[in-house]
Amino acid sequence: MGVLEQFGSAILSGDIKIVDLTHTLEPDFPVLQLPPEFGQCEPFKIEEVSCYDDRGPAWYWRNFSCNEHTGTHFDAPVHWVTGKDVPDGSVDTIDPDGFVRPACVMDFSNEASGDDDFVLTADHIKAWENDNGEIPAGSWAIFRTDWSNRSGEEYLNMKEDGAHHPGPDADAIRYLIDRDVVGLGVETIGTDAGQGHLFEPQYPAHALLHGAGKYGLQCLRNLDQLPPTGAVIVASPLKIKAGSGSPLRVIALVEG
């Protein structure tokens, strides 16, 4: 049997299981809040067009609108100024080869449970590699914090001085770029820490990753159902012309 034929059989037999890493797109799902001097992210909006009624007797459909960075979403290199000249750096032009990739799931949920501002460092990643092996080039680095168990106000965790949630420092990102990951996936509203504007450089995940042509995945969930290595993530953004990102359904394939 060829490898794809084996794969198909394993899907049908249940030896490979599908884990949904996506939040439901709904108007109540929190969106990123920036300081008031900046343009703001629109939440998900929905408007019924017809529902088996006089507007359309046999069909139900709706219009929706949202920011490219609403809900569980993909960040393309052009999202950040550092990535504006990355070739094929928008969601419609990036190579779909990156849409199906293995995942390295780094579980720092214990550390994050006691520290809203937990900072992922290169030493944390090295410690994970010590236990699990080197992050293979081309794979997703997935940062597990269990932050997705939060909802509402507690998810954004906004204080007077801005949001407070975990994120990586610049050295952690440089380390991941050196490993040549395809990108960084997180459970929080951004790949950067809530206080990432105070880091050097500002928003290191966005600035450095996108400058290096890497991607982001935000607002993931169910990372507790993934093994540290061996899962494959399917994350295929909408093909929005010149899009900086897109909401998407993210699934993981795991051996069950």
CB 209 to ligand 23J: min, Å = 11
Q: Catalytic: 164?
A: no
Residue 111: partners with Cβ closer than 8 Å, 6 or more residues away: 118, 124
210 binds Mn ion, rule: CB under 5 A: no
Q: In angstroms, what is the minimal distance from the CB of 243 to Mn ion?
A: 11
Contacts to ligand 23J from residues 7-46, by CB under 6 A:
32, 34
- Which residues in the 54-113 window bind Mn ion by CB under 5 A? 69, 75
Nearest to 76 by CA among 189, 252, 174, 209: 209
Of positions 192, 221, 235, 237, contacts ligand 23J by CB under 6 A: 192
Nearest approach in angstroms of CB 27 to Mn ion is: 18
Which one of 23, 73, 79, 124 is the catalytic residue? 79
Q: Which of 217, 218, 233, 237 binds ligand 23J (CB under 6 A)?
A: 218
Contact predicate 212/70, CB 8 Å: no
Instruction: Please report the DSSP string for 142-153 in residue order.
Output: EEE--GGG--TH
Kindly state the helix (H) or strand (E) to which residue 219 belongs, with its residue range.
none
Q: Is there binding between residue 240 and ligand 23J (CB under 6 A)?
A: no
According to DSSP, the residues that pair with 245 across neighbouring strands are 75
Integer-rounded Cα Rg, in Å, for the chain is 19
SS3 for 168?
strand
Contact segment (CB under 5 A) with Mn ion among 3-11, 80-88, 96-104, 242-250 equals: 242-250
What dihedral do alpha carbons 187, 109, 146, 101 form, nearest 10°? 50
The two tokens of residue 14 are 């249940």
Residue 75 binds ligand 23J, judged by CB under 6 A: yes
32 binds, among Mn ion, ligand 23J, none (CB under 5 to 8 A by kind): ligand 23J
- Give me the count of residues in the chain: 256
* Site residues (vs ligand 23J, CB under 6 A): 32, 34, 69, 75, 79, 190, 192, 203, 206, 218
Q: Which residues are catalytic?
A: 79
Binding residues (CB under 5 A) for Mn ion: these are 69, 75, 245
